[in-house]
Amino acid sequence: MMIANPLNDLKAEFQQYVSQLEGVDELFIPGSLRYCIFLENNTKIMIFGVRVQFGSRDFFELVVKVITDTTRE
């Protein structure tokens, strides 16, 4: 699985940010690492892999989401 390599490569630099990302409604790649990096101003970066179906084929994508929680300001 090609997408697992970049996710595992991030582990060396971002081990402290490995997260299960509970409450996130995504079809994660089973067994793959997921990251949540908290920044200033109630912002976080989530990094994870997902499985996407296109026709009869499965593809894997690396997802990077920047989320700002404006309700906490």
Q: How far apart are CA 55 and CA 15, in angstroms?
A: 35
Which amino acid is located at 71 in the chain? T
Task: Give the pLDDT score at 23.
Answer: 79
pLDDT tens digit at each of 73 positions of the chain: 566 677 888 888 888 999 988 878 788 888 888 999 998 888 999 999 998 888 999 888 889 999 998 775 5
- Spatial CA neighbour of 4 closest among 45, 40, 49: 49
pTM of the model: 0.77
Domain map (residue ranges) of the chain: 4-72
* Contacts within 8 Å (CB) and 24+ apart, 62-71: 62/3, 62/6, 62/7, 63/26, 67/43, 68/41, 68/42, 68/43, 69/42, 69/43, 69/44, 70/42
